[in-house]
Amino acid sequence: MNLFLISGEGSNFYVRELARKAGEHLNSVRKELENLERMGLIVEMKKDESAGADARGGGKNQRKYFQLNKDFALYPELRALFFKARILLEKSLIEKMRGIGQITYLALTGIFTQNPQTPADLLIVGRVNKGKLRELMEEFENNMGRSLNYSLMSPREFRDRRELTDRFLFNILENKKIELINKLI
């Protein structure tokens, strides 16, 4: 369920894809999907692989997808609870980031802002221990239940790239983001 809420409305997943992302056995994932579908939290979709059209029926060239049911009665409450848990994770991340070096800027983008086109989920500017950062990101990914793309820049690199109107950096800065630390000004 966590993966469905992280990815947002409209995201579709294959059974095997969910098993791989969750690191679980295929039969365990199938059983859990049956439970979530029976509750009404997710719905099964079938996509015609040859024509690319979505359908709710069966066919020889169709693959099963599962999608979050935004019409589920408890969906708003689950979504709110999920975001509260995410805020706690973000606070934990800030505290742990401060323990690995000097952070001048930390922004959450991408999956955190429901914008998967953003090139990174986290932008970190500062001087940090890269080994500790890698460990922290692995821990955070395990807690989130998915991999994250992050970019680390020194304050000087950030300034240089901003002056050059670097496309990667401006894609992050001009899109929706959640600034957790901003000591750049």
**Tens digit of each residue's pLDDT (9 = 90 or more) over 142-156:** 877 778 899 999 999
Q: How confident is the model at residue 104 (pLDDT cuts 50, 70, 90)?
A: very high
User: What topology does CATH give the domain 84-182?
Assistant: Beta Polymerase; domain 2 (3.30.460)
Average pLDDT over residues 169-178: 89
List where CATH 1.10.10 sits in the chain.
2-73
Q: Which of 183, 185, 184, 176 is nearest to 8 (CA)?
A: 176
Tell me: the pLDDT tens digits for 44-83?
Answer: 887 765 544 454 555 555 678 888 888 888 888 887 787 7
Q: What is the pTM of this model?
A: 0.60
pLDDT more than 70, % of the chain? 86
- Please say whether the beta carbons of 11 and 67 come within 8 A: yes
Q: What residues does CATH 3.30.460 cover in the chain?
A: 84-182
Q: How far is CA 152 from CA 127, 137, 145, 170, in A?
A: 9, 12, 21, 15
* Beta carbons of 21 and 7 less than 8 angstroms apart: no
The arithmetic mean of pLDDT across residues 13-36, rounded, is 85
- 53-62, 76-85, 94-103, 105-114: which range is least confident on average? 53-62
C-beta separation of 2 from 141 below 8 A = no
CATH architecture designation of domain 2-73: Orthogonal Bundle (1.10)
